[in-house]
Structures are given as structure tokens and as C-alpha cells.
Structure 1
């Protein structure tokens, strides 16, 4: 067993005795090379711990009109996202650049000086990142860090031969782990697609395979059972507008991944307002629609059904049933419309948002109440089965990701040694 020493870094503990400890600035300078003439067009972004390409010609979204303030970076630069440290403690904040390109100047670009393996240091900083080390820098929790502050971070470096061995070993091992995660993620996507098809089939065709069909008159739906009735949404639902004017409502709800969930109203920071007096009071079985930012965000699920009394942002549309219908059926139907991206074509072309008056003109169809109830029960059972399978796959990914984190930690801190 090799000789160890105290690293002097509390969250690391012991490291091999022949490893050196220095601040980041001993190994890196800050790369500042503004794209002032806008000549560079290879747009890069830090996403899930990787520096990836983005389409510079994308319309809308969060891209600026000009990239002249962006920073030109090079292969082997390490990119750090030092912003919003107080509120966002989940994002991965480090990435290793693989190519020449431009990236937002809100990020720190670390330019290696020489004489060491940059990939090893990236793995080390990744370990610091997942251990949430950056959040304790700068005299307490800070909204952001600059290079001067970040560069004082103490890191440790093995001899160059060991750096190379560690980096090569981790490249190989992490590549295998990432491939396995990618395969499981694909399985999840297949299950999600199957779930969408099960819902769409049930809410548009019903459960009787022998039923007589007719043209629905709705282009994205096609045929429906001949006895189903077609009306605009406002025939079945009205808008619920009940402001939390006195601030008495405190059960804060939010639409997240197609579900209405509780949020902590006392949470510090984040996107919560100072007052909830403008929020809308909603009730169980209300259908919630997020009609905002239709032009830019085409990925989020925009429908949910409330399971309880609470308050939710008035930026959302809250719909209450005004006929004797099963709101769960109409929620499943609108979910099917949602995943078919129907909402994006409403309001005379692509619109930033919709109000209830516009949204309620959407044509929907009404099975008999008995059929509505049967479809809801069928879909609850089928979706529960699929959701369970998806949850198991996600747990597998979490387990594998935890293994990857521990693997990197053990080798970049010298707890384990790469065997020759």
C-alpha cells in the first residue's frame, strides 16, 4: 500500500504522498478572447457536464441577437459555469472543451498552462462539482464567482505518468458506463412512446375494437367512434378565476412534467415571488394548462390535473368542468393533444401564449359517461404499469451514475491506483 498524506482539503482527506497541492491558478490562466467581430460561428454550450455544439441559427429561445460578446475557446480548455450558485444546486458546472468555438462569457474558460493532463484535472473538478464544493466558495453562498475567486481553489496533481494513466482509465470506464446509461435511457424513451400511444389510442378510438367509426373532422385525430359527440372545449369547461387576494391560500402547487405537484411556499430563492396574492385558487379535478412561451419551448408537457385544493400561478389556465363529464378523461385527451403538439398551431400561427378564450375553441369529443369512466380506469391501470417500469429503469440509471461518481472520486483522489 502506497504512502499517503493529509491533503489539507477537508472534503478530500488523504492523498498519495508524492502528489502536489496547488491552487487552480498554478495550472490555468483565464482565457479571455472576445468574438468582437462575430467571425466565429461554432457555438458551444455547457450541457449536463459536456461542452456541446448548438445551432447558431436557431430562431428564438435564449440565444442573443449578437455573439460579439461571446468568448472564443479552444480544445482542452475547461469551462466552468459559476453563475446562480445560490439557487441552482443541481446542474453540472464543469465541462472539457473538445474543439475551437465560442461560448457565453458568463462562463469561466480555464486555459491550461502546460505540463499536465487536462483530462485528469477535468475529472478532478467534476468530482469537486458533484461534491458541491463550489457553493461554499467566495465567503459563503454567492450568486456567482469570477476567475480570481475560483482560481484560488486548491487542487492536487499526481506525477504526469499517473495523470495519464488515471485519465485513460477513466475515459475507458466512463465511456462504458455512459453507453450503458444511454441504452437504458433509450429503453425509457421507448416506454414513454408506448405510453403516449396507449393514451392516444384509448382517448380517440375508445376500448371497443368493433365500434363503428366516423371522421372526427379534426385533422390530427382522424376517425373516432361514430356515436361520440364533437364540441369546442368551452362546451364542457369554464375558466376558474379565483384570486388568492388575501394571501390565505398557502398550499402552493406547480405543473411539473405533466403532473400537478406541491412546492414549498417557504423555499428561499428560486423563481418564487414575494407575494402569492395574484395566484389562482384551484380545486380538485381542475385541468391546468401552461399556455406560455409556445414559440420557444416545444418540449415541456403543458397539461395536468389537480388532485387537491391549492394555489397556482395565474399565468396558467385553470379549467373547471361545467357539464357532467369525467375530467380525468378530458385530461388524458388534452395530454394526447399536448404530445401531438396541437397547441403550438393555435391562435393563427405560432404564438407566445394563449388565453382561455382562444384555448377553449379547441375541438374535443365526448364519449358516453360510461365510456369515459371505463377509459379512465383502463388508462390508470396501463399507465401505472408503464410508469413502474420507467421508474425501475430510472433507478438503474441512478445506481449506475452513483457508481460512476464514486469511481471517478476514488481514482482522482488516489484512494485507488490504476494497475499497470
Structure 2
């Protein structure tokens, strides 16, 4: 059964035995507002659905008061109007509030098991329908309003089949999560090995080279070879923030130039590289601040503060949540490796302040860095290049396995939720549910770099 025949973008197919109903007969828009602003603030993500904000690595702007925010009750549907075309919608397991610019819906007649509906609403072929019905003069301004959602035909399987789908998927997802967790633990072990190598090198030098050491005033660094110095970062590099492009302006920066624009989401946490092919560029004669080739970009605000970094291999413009470290009296790659170490990370964390978490550039300038002679800096870079390249190669292979498992998990969810796999007569054995573990290099919900964009 193909739904919504009048919409050529609608490629959905469901079993003919399933009933279908228009959204207007299934859902009603709710607009209850918080009077005191004491409710839990919820996030709406295309990745994880609806989650309390405090549980996520979110770095978007948060209003000082939640008075007037929309109340979302348990089993209500919350939808991010601006990102519905990506699937930012879900059924809430929590009572809380969301941004006033979002939408809250409620089932009219309880046609759906909430857990099934949550899976259905983010199913990729249905998300494609949201995209096709979203309106806006530019891609970055696409919006899906209640009237469009209410015009969509939704499948309504029998509730006993919905529950069987939920039970079956919990079993299958649990098995895949266990495999993913095993791979993530392997990555964690390798990253710990990598950090041990970095920390050892920045306090002792290359193994076997030094025999005498001195104690540093900074306890995080501890001791260093007696011919090294400990200096504040402000004496060895320049540091400055970039410039933000608001979401509404991004379509003005798509003309290709020699200077790509890097947002926080374009920095890969694990590989410490930047994506230069994100489609955003700045004019070569613009006033945007530039991070030159061979500098380091470090996120200094939000959920990824002190964690996301990249060694830049070409001149780039960059968002204001990133800070450029431009070497002046230190080897640039040596500085990058140091900024990647837990020695720097621990100093950074001690300085974090603010509601969303961050460190000011003035505070970063006061942090310490161990500084060998220039010749030894280059030797250390060569040594770490070789060591880290081998470890990163192992991690890359494991990440590919994780990606395959994630794709398999989504494929199974889609096939079962849409009825391509009939689970009515499948016996589910006893099992213990396994949740996918969070990891240092997991998904982050700080993708928005617009400082005026309100998080909800």
C-alpha cells in the first residue's frame, strides 16, 4: 500500500492490512505554557528523540527564564519546527518544556502505542515526506507547520501488532547494542594508550633520551627534563575566536572560494580533522578572522569544549566557539599534540565556567605548556606522528565496524516499523536489554553554532 499518492516525493510502502489515517484525525496541537518556568528543559533531536537537556552535550543558547515555554507532557509529541525535515521529532517519556518556537502534539484517540509512534515518527521515508512538505525560501529556513503534519497519511497498525513490533525491536536493538559497545570499549582502550603516550612524551620526552628531571610549579605537568622550560601559552602562540554565521545567513556563503568556513560540527572529534567540504565559504577579501594553515582549532565553549580540535592544513574561516592557536615561538604540530593531551585538558577543565561551560581566551593564555628546544620539538613531532598514526589506523578500522552496525540497526528499525518484516509470529526469547553506552567519541548535540539560536 503506497500512501499519499498525490505527493511524488512520498515513497512509503506499508502492508495493505494496516489502516491509514490523516494526521488531522490522529493528532491535535497543544499550546500550554509554563507559568513559573520550573519544569525540566527538554531537547528534540533527530538522533535521540526527546531527552532532558541536562543529559545531553548541548551548547546552544539557553534562555535565562523558561516562563512561557511550551509544556510537553509524558507521551506528548514534541517537534522542532526548524529541523523537522531532518527528523527532529519524537514522543516524550518526560514531562518538561520545549522552546516556544517548537510544536507540541497529542494523540486524539490513542491510536498508537507511544513507543511504536516514537520509532515511526523518525523513520527515514516518513522524514523524507516532512522534507517534501516543509516550506521556506531557502534550505536553511525550511519549516514544517501543524497544517502540513496534519495533511500526511500515517499507517495505523493494530495496537497488538504495534506492541509486538516494539518488543521485537527492543530484542534486536539490544543484540546490536551489545556488539557496538564491545567495539566502543576497544576504541576506549586504544585512546587510553594514545593519551598515555602523549602524557609521557610531554613530561619525560622521548623514552631513554633524558635522565635528569625537575619538578614544575604546575602540579598537572609534574616534572619535565631539566633542559626544558614551562611557559604560559600566551608566550608561544596567538589565540583568537572566529566569527559566526547565523542560520538565516548560511545560504549567502555557498559561493566557492579558497577559504572554507568551519563550524564546530565540521571538526571530527576522533580524527582531529576538519571537513573543508561542508559547502560554506567566505569571500577572500572579507573581514572574517582566518586560521592559517598549520594552526590548531579548538572548541572552547559548549559540550565539546576542550575536546574537539583539528590541525588545519589550509587557511580557513571559523565559528566563534572555536579558537585558533597560531604558533609564534613553538613548533605548530608540537603545539597541536600538546593541546590534544590530557595534560592540557586537565588545565582547561579547571578553568571552565558558565551555564553552558567554556573557557575564556584570557584564561587559556595563562595555561602552561612544557617547551623543549626547537630541535627536540621536531623530533617529538616525528615520534608522535608515527605512534599516533598507527593507533589512529586501528581506531578507524573499528569505527567502520561501528558504522556498519549502526546502519544495520537503523535498517532493521525501518523494515520492522514499516511492516516490511512481519514480526507477528516471531517468538522472542528471554534476554537482558543492553543500552548503547556513551563514549568520549560519541554523538554530540551541539551541532548548531548560531549564538542567537535558542535551544529547547
2:230 is aligned with 1:222: no
| 1:354 and 2:341 correspond | no
Q: 2:77, 2:90 within 8 Å by CA — same for their partners in 1?
A: yes
C-alpha displacement at 1:208, in angstroms?
A: 2.7
After superposition, give the CA deviation of every residue in 1:103-158 in whole Å (9 maximum; x if it has no partner): 33333222122243232232222214785332221356553222222222221112
Task: Describe the shift of the 1:167–1:203 C-alpha distance in structure 2 as closer, same or farther (beyond 3 A).
Answer: same
Matched, 1:378 2:378: no
Q: Distance in 2 between matches of 1:126 and 1:33?
A: 24
Among residues 384, 397, 403, which one is paired with 1:398 in the alignment? Answer: 403
Q: Distance in 2 between the 1:198 and 1:61 partners?
A: 34
The match for 1:263 among 276, 298, 301 is 276
1:8-407 aligned at under 5 Å gives the runs: 8=4, 11-38=10-37, 40-47=38-45, 48-55=47-54, 62-84=61-83, 89=86, 92-112=87-107, 113-128=109-124, 131-139=127-135, 142-209=141-208, 211-233=211-233, 235-237=235-237, 250-252=258-260, 254=262, 256-257=267-268, 259=272, 261=274, 263-264=276-277, 267=280, 277-281=286-290, 283-288=292-297, 293=301, 296-297=302-303, 299-301=305-307, 303-308=309-314, 310-313=315-318, 318=324, 320-323=326-329, 326-336=331-341, 337-342=343-348, 345=351, 353-354=360-361, 359-407=364-412
1:360–1:99 Cα change, 3 Å: closer
Higher RCO, 1 vs 2 (CA within 8 Å, ≥6 residues apart):
2
Q: Number of matched residues?
A: 392
Q: In 1, distance between residues paired with 2:239 and 2:80?
A: 42
- Once the two structures are superposed, residues 350-395 of structure 1 have per-residue CA deviations (whole angstroms, 9 ceiling, x without a partner) of 976326xx75554433223443233212211221122222222222
Q: CA separation of 1:163/1:237 partners in 2, compared to 1, >3 Å: closer, same or farther?
A: closer
TM-score norm. by structure 2 comes to 0.73
RMSD: 3.7
- Partner of residue 244, structure 1: none
* 1:342 alignment partner, SS class: helix
What SS is found at the alignment partner of 2:122?
A: helix
Q: How big is the shift at 1:281?
A: 4.8
By how many angstroms is 1:102 displaced? 2.7
Unpaired runs of 5+ in structure 1?
242-246
TM-score by length of 1: 0.78
Distance (Å, rounded) in 1 between the aligned partners of 2:70 and 2:304: 29
**Aligned-pair CA distance for 1:223:** 0.5
